[in-house]
Homo-oligomer: A and B are copies of this chain.
């Protein structure tokens, strides 16, 4: 079938709320490692997809799921070893006493449950998030996603801070000043929450702020933010739905800041494409939550999902992907810095590990963001060159590069050469 016919059928059957990437959508039919192929046999280097964390169609994950699918798939009302082993493995990879796991299917469900736990346990209702945040799409976590709805619809229990963007935000200068100013901004948000009659149940902490970023702020800022929220009676929820599972070169994005959150949420990369997500917290918090309510998620933690989750951890460990990310991420970051010196349109290289972005500017000095339309043209041109990327950032001006973890130096060279060429041709 032609792509146009499929597009028309899709619009009819799925409606107009669904959007597609690129001005000329891509019709993918096959994936392997960091590579994708479309219906015409064209090959693409995947520089964007984090869900297939250990690589497209990784045989070890596929076979583990296949074996379990042939054997049994039920739910957590019956005993099964897989889900217990996955909970133990994840807990063992976390610092402190973050070793109680509850399983859900999506990052949205994980963040929704985490916020419900924080509210139950603290007795408070408020939440702290940044501008241009994104934490999911249920009614509750959509409210936490300031990127996703008009500002005048924000609930009064939500306090919104500036994203800690030292390049583009209102506070710039030396590290100490930047940290102090962003912390003061967080303090003001907490004060507004109090004025509205609310105490914080939690701060939603992206370890790599994606929607307004990708941002990887100074550790002192993150530590100070956690201290202020805890002093006000709130918990720290680390949203590791994107930054977890070695995306940053550490197992969890929050490790770089030297903090131990109260609740960690896991999602996208957990099952290499299979809908698997989790909430990890301390025994005390889990016990306090359980004393007030029970929890069940029909599909969450089923034996097949757990098999996927275990296989992903196995692959990361056996293939040394954490060290790979640290190496390739640094290499890619450095190559993008070189590119930034060559192209004035690159204002800054943001992020860390394999979670990077080019903040593109219309004017290098004023830092005026390049238009969304220009970004759309760039990502479409890159797709034509066989490089899949996409866009992020508060102004839609950041070229996001967030490939599967097996992406290595040779892939980085290919991606950087194509970006170089496309930016040169603008």
Q: Nearest Cβ distance between residue A405 and chain B, in whole angstroms?
A: 16
Residues of B with C-beta under 8 A to A18? 76, 102, 294-296
A287 close to chain B: CB less than 8 A: yes
A424 close to chain B: CB less than 8 A: no
In chain A, positions 294-335 with a C-beta closer than 8 Å to chain B are 294-302, 304-305
Q: Which of B78, B83, B109, B390 contacts A109 (CB 8 A)?
A: B109
Residues of B with C-beta under 8 A to A149? 293
Contact call A137/B13, Cβ cutoff below 8 A: no
Q: Which of B15, B77, B100, B113 contacts A21 (CB 8 A)?
A: B77
Residues of B with C-beta under 8 A to A51? 74-75, 298-299
In chain A, positions 258-291 with a C-beta closer than 8 Å to chain B are 267-268, 272-275, 281, 283, 286-287, 289-291
Query: Which of A27-35, A208-216, A339-347 forms part of the interface with chain B?
Result: A27-35
Contact call B6/A79, Cβ cutoff below 8 A: yes
Contact call A70/B78, Cβ cutoff below 8 A: no
Contact call B290/A15, Cβ cutoff below 8 A: yes
A361 close to chain B: CB less than 8 A: no
- Tell me what chain A mostly uses at the interface: helix, strand, loop, or mixed: mixed
A151 close to chain B: CB less than 8 A: no
A17 close to chain B: CB less than 8 A: yes
Q: B-facing mask of A55-72, CB < 8 A → 1, else 0?
A: 011010010011001111
Residues of B with C-beta under 8 A to A74? 28, 31, 36, 49, 51-52, 273
Kindly state the separation between the CA atoms of A20 and B198 in the bound complex, as whole angstroms: 37
Residues of B with C-beta under 8 A to A148? 293
Residues of B with C-beta under 8 A to A59? 70
Residues of B with C-beta under 8 A to A12? 99-100, 283
Q: Which of B52, B137, B305 contacts A297 (CB 8 A)?
A: B137
Pick 25 A–B contacts, CB within 8 A, sort by A.
A3-B79, A6-B81, A14-B102, A15-B100, A17-B295, A19-B77, A19-B296, A21-B78, A28-B80, A56-B72, A56-B73, A66-B66, A66-B69, A105-B105, A105-B106, A106-B299, A113-B137, A116-B139, A116-B142, A137-B295, A138-B138, A138-B139, A138-B140, A273-B299, A274-B299
Q: Which 9 A-B pairs have the closest CB atoms?
A: A15-B286, A13-B87, A73-B273, A17-B290, A139-B140, A275-B299, A27-B79, A16-B290, A15-B100
